[in-house]
Each structure stands twice: as C-alpha cells, then as structure tokens.
Amino acid sequence: MAGSALRRLMAEYKQLTLNPPEGIIAGPINEENFFEWEALITGPEGTCFEGGVFPAKLIFPPDYPLSPPKMQFTCEMFHPNIYSDGRVCISILHAPGDDPMGYESSAERWSPVQSVEKILLSVVSMLAGCFEPIYYLNATEPNDESGANVDAAKMWRENREEFNKIAERLVRRTLGLPP
C-alpha cells in the first residue's frame, strides 16, 4: 500500500510544482520521505490574514489516498477551525464515511479523489471565510458552532473587530514584524 501512496504523492508533488496554486507552496520536507510535507500559505487578499505567510506541515498515512493526511500549522494561528496547537479541523481532512456527530455529509469528508492541492485550497478558503463580506464568493464560513478553537469561534461570532486585530497581529509575526 505504501508503494502506491508514494507514487500518488510523487505525482501530486510534480503537479504542484508544474502548476502551483496562487499563494501556496508545498512539497516534501526532504525527498527521502514523501510522507511528510511542509507548506507555506499566503493569507488571502482582502481578509484579516492578508499578507501573512503561514507555515504548516502535512503528514500522510501509509494508505494515502484512502485515508486523509493530518495538517497542522507550525506558527501561532487564531481561527475557529484551527486548534490552539495548530491542527486544522475541516471536513475534507475528516475520515471518509458518515459523520458520527451528524454535522457533515459524507460528500464533504475525505475521499480518495481529493488531493493535496484541494486540501490547501480548502484551507485558503477557510481563512478567506474570516473576512469583511465582499471578496470571496466560494469562501467557507468558519464553523463557529463546533469550533476547534472555542475562544476564536466565540470572538469571531461576537466581536469581529477584536478577532481581526488578533489575526492582524499574527500576520505581522509571520513576517517577523513587531505586533
């Protein structure tokens, strides 16, 4: 199984290198291990994350693409769908099948037709969901009902101005600028 996973990851890496999505760079940490990747995601334009460069890592299971990878930001993040340790909580990264909690349809969850590119674009869309409503027609609103970061979800819902200030401080930190 790991052999087919490796071939798939190599093909996805080649595709990302030949045709990288705007604002995203991703690939294996080293070419000795295609199951651990690093990514840099640029904060979407017109959002409170605009201008930031957010590093993350992806860890792929040996049975990829049957099972989804795990994704975790390696910098501080403040978002309803990102745990305080940086782990990303979005539907596309949840195991295939029915959601035992009933929040997601099986069509929203992982399937082998997904790809690294789709994951990263979903994360950009998730970040774009935290914006003043004008720019992103396909942005995914943060899930503030069962947020991974309850404090961020509550603040996003009740005090958007303060949420935006925190996000903008994080952007400055990712760029090595004072808060």
Number of H helices, E strands in the chain: 4, 4
Interatomic CA distance for residues 149 and 158, integer angstroms: 14
Q: Tell me, yes or no, if 130 is annotated catalytic.
A: no
Active-site residue (options: 48, 75, 89, 130):
89
Interatomic CA distance for residues 37 and 76, integer angstroms: 18
Tell me how far apart the 2 most distant CA atoms of the chain are, in Å.
49
* Helix ranges (DSSP H) in the chain: 2-18, 116-128, 150-158, 160-174
Report the catalytic residues: 89
